[in-house]
Amino acid sequence: MLIVADNLHVIRPEIARALASMDPGPIQALVRQCAQAGAQAIDLNCGPLKRDPETRMTFLVETVRAVTDLPLLLDTTNPAALAAGLAACGGRATINGFSLEPAKLEGILPLARRYETDIVGYLLHPDSRVPHETDEMMALAVSLFEAYRALDLDPARLIIDPVIAPLAWPDGTRHNRAVLALIHQLPDLLGTPVRTMAGLSNLASGAMPLTRKITLEQAFLPMLAAAGLDLLLVNVTHGPTLDTARLCAGLLGEGVFAWGPT
């Protein structure tokens, strides 16, 4: 299970300011902190980047690349920004991500073909609604896989994210049980071992004490790991959560962490 830091996010004011003013300092400080905390890859969540998308994404990728060789995920809904970011790192990044939304299928998925990269596909309805039942998620996974294969792309480069729901949602618990079942059954469903990713920070989002967040993460993470999760998107400053992730890898007998198609 690969540990991907979700910390570099435009929702953080210092990151938003650094992106707006093209100031590498705060970004590089955060990247170093993530690497030190145990991140094995870093998600660069820069939002839609409405102003100067190419310039800002190029700046972001070069700024991060200057201080780390860790694999990167480029996390934006802006195709122009994605293309610029992929060009800036010679295509050595994962696109995060597409879904069955028409704009994503048309604007983002073709970039995975053009740059021959890994890409994350989210299990969302074409109108962005979140599915709650395992059957519904499975139908979306089949449609997503078909849309992906329609471009003649390699199944080994697809990463499916079934979208963890906040427990605070009325049907959050039921939804997350369905996520576990989906991850477990996906290889059989698609007939090929497509990788999976999940964003653990969603689970305990909202106002609650940090210790409670971490305890919830520590309880759900082993369930995800045992279901066969490949990439864990997580706040890497949650030390006990990362300890649990490493223990899970040991308990599940993962000799080495894998990245990319093997």
Q: Binding residues for its own copies, per CB under 8 A?
A: 167, 173-174, 176-177, 180, 184, 215-216, 218-223, 225-227, 243-244, 247-248, 250-253
CB 205 to its own copies: min, Å: 15
Residue 235 CB, nearest distance to its own copies (Å)?
A: 18
Q: How far is the CB of 181 from its own copies (least distance, A)?
A: 9
158-161/41-45 β-pairing:
unpaired
For residue 198, give the 3-state DSSP assignment: strand
Distances (CA, A) of 128 to 7, 104, 124, 140, 168: 24, 11, 5, 11, 20
Pick the closer one to its own copies by CB: 176 or 196: 176
| Closer Cβ to its own copies, 62 or 135, answer by number | 135
Beta carbon nearer to its own copies, 218 or 235: 218
For its own copies, the closer of residues 1 and 112 by Cβ is 1
Nearer to its own copies, 116 or 171 (CB): 171
Task: Name the β-bridge partners of 42.
Answer: 5, 72
Report in angstroms how near the CB of residue 20 gets to its own copies at its nearest. 39
Q: Provide, rounded to whole angstroms, the least separation between the CB of residue 237 and its own copies.
A: 19
What single-letter amino acid sits at 95? Answer: I
- Per DSSP, which regions of 46-183 are E strands? 72-75, 94-98, 119-122, 158-161
What minimum distance in Å lies between the beta carbon of 176 and its own copies?
7
Task: Write the CB contacts of 62 (distance below 8 Å, at least 6 apart in sequence).
Answer: 88
Beta strands at 41-45 and 2-5: parallel, antiparallel or unpaired: parallel
Nearer to its own copies, 95 or 221 (CB): 221
Report the alpha-carbon distance of residue 88 to residue 124 in Å, rounded: 29
CA pseudo-torsion sign 15, 18, 22, 25: negative
Distance CA 235, CA 229 (A): 17
Q: How far is the CB of 141 from its own copies (least distance, A)?
A: 19
Contacts 24+ apart (CB under 8 A), 208-213: 210/238, 213/238
Residue whose CB is less far from its own copies, 74 or 236:
236
Q: What is the DSSP letter of 202?
A: G
